[in-house]
């Protein structure tokens, strides 16, 4: 059977295209999340998308839209609240994280929302995407890539050191907010695509691997994108071949890729250390 | 009375943490081309002062003007890149960024074309003799090379004021001399104003004219006038 014949099924084709777009562009946001220590924020946003989904099902609107809106509110509230209360942003994220889950369960209970529908948000399903979901995913993936491309220097500066970025005249608060908003949208979309439990496969693992082996900021973003696309392709093909959910295939590909990059980075570090030792020995013998 | 422009002016500046007062009522004036050496014990408030001067930290009381614009004002936001900062500890060295990209951070807020930004970065790297490091990852540079790259970043930024917080800490003797040589040269050739936190003696700047000092001791900031090192 021609393996490409499977793409004649619209859900499969839509899922594949969404996964490619997410694989290529979401890791760019993963770089932000890892570099700016936004992991607590990421969990808060996952819970925000869960609450958004519960609210949407209760009032009959699109869960993706509700998740976007709620996470936008969380992102825009979090930093000013942290500044006003002089609390660490991670602490405020922790507060929102627990509050959103509590409110979600109240909504589920009081509005008699079928729990399985809400929990479906945690699992995600790339083969259940509507054409609008696909368009939003591809559109947002392109917007994330354009954001990095056009604002590479100020973004690189903020990721390098916020104080240095500030003293270089960059509006680091604006870029930090844009980065947080991009993270919010990406987490919400990734949840819809492959579910909360496996969203790190497209968001974090490629960025993590790229951080281990990149030698420049430009290389970091390029590698994160290439790794994400590769994991998506290999994971999708592998999962289809052995008939398991696509998200698990992408995660396994990501884990193997991370392992390979980790081993490579250790080898490079060891050879650099040995070279340094040799250089020092040479220098000593020259002086001796 | 000097007719050189005032670069930094503070009025009744106070800072502290909790009950601890680092300094209070500090009136300060630094003029164009000055070389100000800030000295004092660890934790005496030197870093806090420079962060307040740069707008990175808020004072407990008092006001600061940088290049004539009050820190926090709209005008200051437009001109704050004229004051560049080199930190004590090499910034986030685990971030994969190469030396050229680090220098180009300085050009991010310049309102010139891409080509001119590239030229500014190249020229700055040439001035501090680190052009050969352009493609090297920042993380693998030596302490002295990192600080040279940082100064190139400040020059690429077209800053008129360099604020350096213990830039020579943890450097070997030769790198310290190189670094101070570069600073002295930047001041002479580019007419930059330099504010340097350091508690060490530096031969390379000992012969510079017009070095003034600020000493932090037990919550008191003393102006030392002309300092002979």
pLDDT digits (tens, 9 = 90+) for A221-236: 999 999 999 999 999 9
Query: Distance (Å, rounded) from C-alpha A223 to C-alpha A209?
Result: 8
Cβ distance of B96 and A160 shorter than 8 Å: no
Question: Exposed, middle or buried by CB within 10 Å (0-12, 13-18, 19+), for A208?
Answer: buried
User: What are the pLDDT digits (tens) for A112-151?
Assistant: 888 777 777 777 788 888 898 899 889 999 999 999 999 9
Which among B85, B104, B135 has CB closest to A167? Answer: B85
Most confident residue range from A1-5, A37-41, A150-154, B172-176 = A150-154
Return the sign of the alpha-carbon dihedral for residues A255, A259, A264, A270.
positive
Q: Does B69 touch chain A (CB under 8 A)?
A: no
Query: What is the mean pLDDT of the segment spanning B8-32?
Result: 90
- Predicted pLDDT of residue A287: 42
Dihedral of the alpha carbons of A244, A250, A252, A258, in degrees to the nearest 10: 180
Which phi and psi angles does A86 have, rounded to 5°? 55, 35
Selected for mutation to probe chain A from B47, B67, B79, B108 (highest A CB count within 10 Å) is B108
**Quick check: B208 and B35 in contact, CB under 8 A?**
yes
pLDDT above 90 covers a percentage of chain B that reads 48
- Predicted pLDDT of residue A213: 95
User: What are the pLDDT digits (tens) for A184-213?
Assistant: 888 888 887 778 767 888 899 999 999 999
pTM: 0.86
> What's the total number of domains in chain A?
1
Cβ distance of B108 and A217 shorter than 8 Å: no
Nearest CA in chain B to A36: B95
- Predicted pLDDT of residue B90: 61
Cβ distance of B56 and A214 shorter than 8 Å: no
The secondary structure of chain A, three-state, reads: CCHHHHHHCHHHHHHHHHHHHHHHHHHHHHHHHHHCCCHHHHHHHHHHHHHHHHHHHHHCCCHHHHHHHHHHHHHHHHHHHHHHHCCCHHHHHHHHHHHHHHHHHHHHHHCCCCHHHHHHHHHCCHHHCCHHHHHHHHHHHHHHHHHHHHCHHHHHHHHHCHHHHHHCCCCHHHHHHHHHHHHHHHHHHHHHHHCHHHCHHHHCHHHHHHHHHCCCHHHHHHHHHHHHHHHHHHHHHHHHHHCCCHHHHHHHHHHHHHHHHHHHHHHHHHHHHHHHHHHHHHHHHHHC
- Predicted pLDDT of residue A208: 95
Flag whether pLDDT at A286 surpasses 50: no
Nearest CA in chain A to B90: A161
Q: Does B36 touch chain A (CB under 8 A)?
A: no
Nearest CA in chain A to B98: A216
CATH number at residue A197: 1.10.3470.10
Quote the radius of gyration of chain A (alpha carbons, Å).
21
Query: What is the mean pLDDT of the segment spanning B90-110?
Result: 87
- Predicted pLDDT of residue A64: 84
Query: What is the mean pLDDT of the segment spanning B81-108?
Result: 87
- Predicted pLDDT of residue B57: 93
B163 vs A contacts (CB less than 8 Å): 167
Which among A159, A218, A272 has CB closest to B95? Answer: A159
Flag whether pLDDT at B145 surpasses 80: yes
Residue A77 sits in which domain range? 3-287
Query: Which carries the bigger pLDDT value, residue B5 or residue A283?
Result: B5
Mean pLDDT of chain A: 87
């Amino acid at each position: 059977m021609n393996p490409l014949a499977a793409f004649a099924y619209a859900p499969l084709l839509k899922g594949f295209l969404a996964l490619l777009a997410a694989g290529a562009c979401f890791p760019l946001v993963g770089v932000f999340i890892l570099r700016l220590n936004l992991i607590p924020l990421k969990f808060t946003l996952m819970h925000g998308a869960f609450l958004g989904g519960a609210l949407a099902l209760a009032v009959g609107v699109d869960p993706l839209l509700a998740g976007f809106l709620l996470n936008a509110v969380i992102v825009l509230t979090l930093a000013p609240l942290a500044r006003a209360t002089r609390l660490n942003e991670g602490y405020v994220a922790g507060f929102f994280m627990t509050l959103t889950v509590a409110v979600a369960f109240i909504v589920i209970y009081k509005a008699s929302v079928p729990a399985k529908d809400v929990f479906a948000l945690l699992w995600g399903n790339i083969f259940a995407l509507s054409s609008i979901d696909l368009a939003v995913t591809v559109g947002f993936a392109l917007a994330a890539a354009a954001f990095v491309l056009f604002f590479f220097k100020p973004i690189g500066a903020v990721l390098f050191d916020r104080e240095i970025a500030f003293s270089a005249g960059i509006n680091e608060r604006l870029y930090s907010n844009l980065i947080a908003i991009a993270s919010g949208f990406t987490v919400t979309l990734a949840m819809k695509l492959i579910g909360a439990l496996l969203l790190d496969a497209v968001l974090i693992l490629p960025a993590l691997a790229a951080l281990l082996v990149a030698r420049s900021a430009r290389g970091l973003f390029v590698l994160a994108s290439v790794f994400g696309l590769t994991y998506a392709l290999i994971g999708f093909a592998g999962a289809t071949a052995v008939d398991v959910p696509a998200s698990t295939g992408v995660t396994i590909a990501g884990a193997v890729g991370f392992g390979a990059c980790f081993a490579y980075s250790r080898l490079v570090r060891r050879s650099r250390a040995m070279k340094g030792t040799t250089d020092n020995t040479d220098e000593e013998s020259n002086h001796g | 009375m000097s007719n050189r422009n005032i670069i930094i002016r503070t009025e009744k500046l106070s800072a502290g943490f909790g009950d601890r007062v680092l300094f209070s009522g500090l009136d300060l004036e630094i003029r164009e081309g000055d070389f100000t050496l800030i000295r004092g014990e660890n934790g005496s408030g030197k870093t806090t002062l420079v962060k307040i001067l740069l707008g990175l930290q808020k004072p407990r009381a008092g006001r600061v003007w940088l290049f004539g614009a009050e820190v926090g004002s709209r005008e200051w936001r437009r001109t704050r890149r004229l004051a560049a900062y080199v930190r004590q500890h090499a910034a986030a060295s685990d971030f994969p960024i190469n030396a050229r990209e680090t220098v180009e951070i300085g050009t991010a807020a310049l309102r010139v074309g891409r080509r001119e930004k590239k030229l500014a970065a190249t020229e700055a790297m040439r001035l501090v003799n680190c052009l050969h490091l352009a493609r090297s990852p920042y993380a693998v540079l030596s302490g002295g090379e990192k600080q040279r790259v940082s100064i190139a970043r400040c020059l690429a930024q077209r800053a008129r004021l360099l604020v350096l917080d213990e830039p020579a800490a943890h450097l070997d003797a030769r790198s310290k001399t190189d670094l101070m040589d570069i600073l002295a040269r930047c001041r002479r050739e580019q007419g930059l104003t330099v504010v340097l936190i350091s508690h060490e003696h530096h031969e390379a700047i000992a012969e510079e004219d017009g070095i003034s000092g600020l000493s932090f001791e037990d919550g008191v900031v003393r102006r030392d006038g002309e300092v002979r090192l």
